[in-house]
Structure 1
Amino acid sequence: MKKETSFSTKGNVVNLGSLSINRILPNSYTGKVGPFVFLDYVAPAIKDIVTKSGMGAHPHRGIATLTYIIQGEEEHFDSAGNYAKIHSGGIQWMKAGTGVVHDENLNYDAQTDSKIIQGFQFWINLPAKNKAEKPAHLAIQASEVPKKTLPDQSGTIKVIVGNYEELSSKIPNYSQQFLYHIQLEAGKQFSLSLTDKIEAAAFLSTQNAVLNDTEFKTGEFVEFSREAGEIEIKNTGLRTIDVLLFGGEEYTEPVIAEGPFVMNSKEEIISAYEDFYAGKYGEITTKAQ
C-alpha cells in the first residue's frame, strides 16, 4: 500500500548576494521529520568570484550539521580545530555536541569548469544523551559516498545518511535515520517501502516528479504519513530528475529550538547561550587555504 501525502509546501527564499537560500524546514506545517529539524537549499547560482572569508562564524549546540554540496567547493572551519574542503558531491558533517563555533565558505569548484554552486544544509537533532558529547567532524568526498545503480538502469541512489540495502554511510547513526539522493532517468520509476512510525519527506530540487500518483512541482517539500507503506517516485518527464528522500524514527524527547541551538528544555537553551558568551565554545583559528 502506498503512503498518503500529509502536505506539500515551498520554502521561503532569502537572497545572499548571488546565492538564493530556500528555507525548507522548519515550515508552517512541521518543525521536524525524524531527526531532521532544519533544511536550507542553495539553489543553482553562478558565483564567479572566489571569497576567502566565510559566511559568518556562529555557534551550535545539541545538533549535527550536514552540508551536502551538489556543485561547488565548500570549506569548513570550527573552534575544535577541524578544517576540511570538499568538492562537488561531497559532505561535511559536524557534531556540535556540547558546543562549537563554525564557519563555512562556498565557492565554485576549482576542479571543474563549472562556476555553479548548489547544495543543502541539514540540522540533525541529537538524542539528549549525545548532546553532552564532545564535538566531532567528518569530511566525505564524492568518491566516498555510497552509491549504486537502480534496477533496470532506472538511475542511481546515493546514501548520504543511514543505510540502503548493502550501502552504509560513514555518518554516525544516533537514531534510525536516512537521507538519499535519488537520480531517476526519464520514463523510469523507483519504490521504497518504509515500516510503521517512520517519518519521511521528499524535496524536488530540479524537476517535477510524480510521488504516489500525484505530481508535485520543482521546489516542493512533500511529507508522507507515518503508517507503513511504499513511496513510489515516477519520472514522467524527458530529463533526469533529482529527489532528496529523508526521515527516520520520530524524535520523542522534547524539542526546544532557539537560534543556532536545539535542546530539550528552555533551561538548556539559556545555558547554551551563557556558555557561548562566556567563551566556552572556543574560537576558530584555522585560516582559509
Structure 2
Amino acid sequence: MRKIKKKHKAAYAPMDDLVTYRAMPTREVEYIDPFLFLNHHGPQVYKPGNRGLPFGPHPHRGFETLTFILDGDIMHQDTGGGKDVIEAGGVQWMTAGSGLIHAEVSSEKFKKEGGPLEILQLWFNLPAKYKMTAPKYVGLQKDQIPTAKEDDGKVKVNVISGNWGDIKGPIPSLSDIHMTSIELQGGGRLTASIAAERNIFFYVVRGTVKVNGETAEKLTLVEFANEGEKIEVEAQENSYILFGHAQPFNEPVVSHGPFVMNTEQEIQEAFRDYQLGKMGRWEG
C-alpha cells in the first residue's frame, strides 16, 4: 500500500464573485513535483446576464495548464492561434513553454443564459530542457476523451494523458505525466499500482472516498509518500476525483505570478520578453 503522508483541505480563496478553493499551494503544501498549482472554481450557479469568468488576457511561460470543465464552459483564445469553446465534461491542455498570452472567459451564451459552473485548473511544471519549447494548445470535448470502466461500470476513468491499462490518453505529455479524472458511484472500488518513485496527485472534487483506508472528503488533496505502490479507492457516495502521477523533476522551482522557471534571472527575462511582445500581441 502507498503510504499517505498528509491530507490537506483546500483553502477558500474567492475571486470577486467566483467561488474558489485553492488546493495548492497553501501554507501546508507548496507543490508536489511536478504538480504545482490547483484552483477549484465553483460549484455555483450564475444568473442570466452575468460577467462570466474573470480570466482576461495574461501571459504564461515555463509550465503547462490542464483545465477541467465540470459544469459551464470556457472560451479559450491565445496568441499561438488556439481558439475554441469547451463545454461540460471537456478539458483544455495548454503548454505555455516559451510563452504566450491567453484568455479564459465564459462564452457569450453562458453570460447571457447563466447556469451551473464548476471548473478546475491544474498546473504542471516543465523540466528545464522543455521550458522554452514551442507553445501548444489542445481542447477536447467530453466525447473526445476515452474512458475505462471498472467495477462493473460503477467507476469511470477518463483518460487524458498517459495510459490506463490498454487505453492511451489523447494528449501526449512531454514529461510522461499520466492524468485522469475519475467518476465513482457510491460503493464503487478502484485499484491501481504506481511505482514508488513517482509522485501522485490525488484530489477529491466531489463526494467522499476511502483511499488506502483513510477517509478523504471533497476539497481534499491527499499527499502520498514515496513508499509502497498500491492505491485502493472506495467511494462512500457518488464522487469525482482527479488522479495523476509523474516522475519528479527534482529541479529548482522559481515562480513569480504567471511565470515558472528555474532561476530568478529567467523570471526577469520572462517579464522583459513579455513587455517586448515576444509572447505575442493580444488581438481580442
Same fold, judged at TM 0.5 (above): yes
- Distance, in Å, in 2 between the alignment partners of 1:80 and 1:194 is 35
Note the 1:249-260 alignment, pairs <5 A: 249-260=247-258
Q: Is 1:28 matched with 2:27?
A: yes
SS at match of 1:19: coil
Alignment-derived partner of residue 266 in structure 2: 268
Give the 3 Å change call, closer, same or farther, for CA 284–167 of structure 1 in structure 2: farther
Q: How far has the Cα of 1:150 moved from its partner?
A: 0.9
Alignment-derived partner of residue 141 in structure 2: 141
Alignment-derived partner of residue 242 in structure 1: 240
SS at match of 2:266: helix
The answer (yes or no) to whether the contact 1:63–1:97 under 8 Å persists in 2 is: yes
Q: How far has the Cα of 1:222 moved from its partner?
A: 0.7
Alignment-derived partner of residue 82 in structure 2: 82
Task: Write out per-residue CA displacement over residues 103-160 of structure 1, whole angstroms, 9 at most, x where no aligned residue.
Answer: 10135976xx981111111111112121112211111111111112113222211112
The answer (yes or no) to whether the contact 2:18–2:53 under 8 Å persists in 1 is: no
Note the 1:171-190 alignment, pairs <5 A: 171-190=171-190
Task: Write out per-residue CA displacement over residues 74-106 of structure 1, whole angstroms, 9 at most, x where no aligned residue.
Answer: 111112222111111111111111111111013
SS at match of 1:152: coil
Give the aligned length: 281
Give the 3 Å change call, closer, same or farther, for CA 14–29 of structure 1 in structure 2: closer
Q: Give the percent of matched residue pairs that are identical in Structure 1 and Structure 2.
A: 29
AA in 1 matched with 2:264: K
- Distance, in Å, in 1 between the alignment partners of 2:223 and 2:90 is 26
- Distance, in Å, in 2 between the alignment partners of 1:158 and 1:32 is 24
AA in 1 matched with 2:45: I
The answer (yes or no) to whether the contact 2:85–2:107 under 8 Å persists in 1 is: no
- Distance, in Å, in 2 between the alignment partners of 1:5 and 1:259 is 30
SS at match of 2:92: strand
The answer (yes or no) to whether the contact 1:34–1:198 under 8 Å persists in 2 is: no
- Distance, in Å, in 2 between the alignment partners of 1:74 and 1:160 is 18
Structure-2-length-normalised TM-score = 0.92
Q: How far has the Cα of 1:67 moved from its partner?
A: 1.1
Note the 1:220-231 alignment, pairs <5 A: 220-231=220-231
The answer (yes or no) to whether the contact 1:50–1:107 under 8 Å persists in 2 is: no
Q: Is 1:160 matched with 2:160?
A: yes
Q: How far has the Cα of 1:20 moved from its partner?
A: 0.8
Structure-1-length-normalised TM-score = 0.90
The answer (yes or no) to whether the contact 1:70–1:117 under 8 Å persists in 2 is: yes
Q: How far has the Cα of 1:272 moved from its partner?
A: 0.5
- Distance, in Å, in 1 between the alignment partners of 2:109 and 2:194 is 36
AA in 2 matched with 1:37: L
AA in 1 matched with 2:180: Y
- Distance, in Å, in 2 between the alignment partners of 1:151 and 1:209 is 15
- Distance, in Å, in 1 between the alignment partners of 2:132 and 2:167 is 29
SS at match of 2:14: strand
Give the 3 Å change call, closer, same or farther, for CA 184–281 of structure 1 in structure 2: same
Q: How far has the Cα of 1:218 moved from its partner?
A: 1.8
Give the 3 Å change call, closer, same or farther, for CA 257–233 of structure 1 in structure 2: same
Task: Write out per-residue CA displacement over residues 178-224 of structure 1, whole angstroms, 9 at most, x where no aligned residue.
Answer: 22211111122111111121111311111121111111222111111
SS at match of 2:283: coil
The answer (yes or no) to whether the contact 2:210–2:234 under 8 Å persists in 1 is: yes
Give the 3 Å change call, closer, same or farther, for CA 149–97 of structure 1 in structure 2: same
- Distance, in Å, in 2 between the alignment partners of 1:193 and 1:114 is 41
Alignment-derived partner of residue 100 in structure 2: 100
- Distance, in Å, in 2 between the alignment partners of 1:270 and 1:216 is 40
AA in 1 matched with 2:23: I
